[in-house]
Amino acid sequence: MARIIYAGDSTVTFNKIATYPQMGLSQGLLLYLKDEVVLRSFAINGRSTKSFIEQGRLAQIDDYLQKDDFLFIQFGHNDEKESDAARYAAAFTDYEDNLKKFIEVARKHEARPVLFTPIARRLFDTDGKFLPGSHTDYPEAVRQVAKEEGVPCIDMTTLTEKYVAMIGDFASRALYVYPKDNTHLVMQGAMVFAGFIADGLRELGHPYVDLLVGRDARTVDEDGELSVDPYMPLGHTGKLEQISDNIDAAFRDETED
């Protein structure tokens, strides 16, 4: 039985009814996993790598991890907060060092660590143009740690920023807890963004792809081969599909001309 242990912040958290309609990536990802795969989310709102470790959450993961588990590691939103000494971790020093601590725990148990860059914040200027780069150096810090440590990395920052920019201001509102905030996801957003995770796992090959159901909810196609169909919204080339016109039409007010 495969197990995924997911460490992260509020963008990952498995929400309960008290925080509805907010949903985390750990909830959306369930839609893409085989029934026999266990996912346990240790993610918690407001945590950075620093506060997560200092509050004993990584120690809990250390106690729980077993050989061949998958440890998903996704932080950044709160590490960036320089005004908060309890959470701030500078990108190319403390943040990188903390990510390596998660990797060390995984390797201690012969588990498989996977790094993720933080998902896009939904930021548009007054002309409706998407504003990328809100995570500054943090995505690059994750990429560097992945390269140095030889750990898989799924670049959620690049994927989600491109996607939000492509579908635009209006359509992207349906993915986030808009207008309350432009950081946290609702179920639609968690499902779409978790599709990027599933695509990334598929591209990594075995054993990561073995966690996933096929796009049509079957593990294999009629010929007994793994499905090659990607999850939404990537195409066979790994590039974003040009579906913005269809999305805009779907969300357009029926009273508009």
Measured in residues, the chain has a length of: 257
Tell me the average pLDDT of the chain: 88
Where are the chain's structural domains?
Answer: 3-251
In sequence order, which residues have a C-beta less than 8 Å from that of residue 84 and are 6 or more positions away? 78
Give me the pLDDT at residue 78, please.
98
CB 102 within 8 A of CB 70: no
Separation in Å, CA 173 to CA 148, 155, 188, 224: 37, 22, 10, 40
Note the pLDDT of residue 101. Answer: 98
Kindly report which listed range (102-111, 199-208, 247-256) carries the lowest average pLDDT score. Answer: 247-256
Per-residue pLDDT band at 191 (split at 50, 70, 90): very high
What is the rounded distance in angstroms from the CA atom of residue 48 to the CA atom of residue 91? 12
Among all chains, which residue has been given the structure tokens 């796009």?
215
Q: What is the model's pLDDT at position 214?
A: 78
In this prediction, residues 141-161 reach a mean pLDDT of 98
Q: How many CB atoms lie within 10 A of CB 172?
A: 24
In the block, tokens 């009814």 appear at: 17
Q: Which fold has domain 3-251?
A: Rossmann fold (3.40.50)
Provide φ and ψ at 205, rounded to 5°: 80, -160
Mean pLDDT calculated for residue range 182-204: 97
pLDDT over 90, % of the chain: 82
Contacts of 29 (CB under 8 A, 6+ apart): 4, 6, 39, 194, 197, 198
E strand or H helix at 3: strand 3-8
Q: Is a pLDDT exceeding 70 seen at residue 252?
A: no
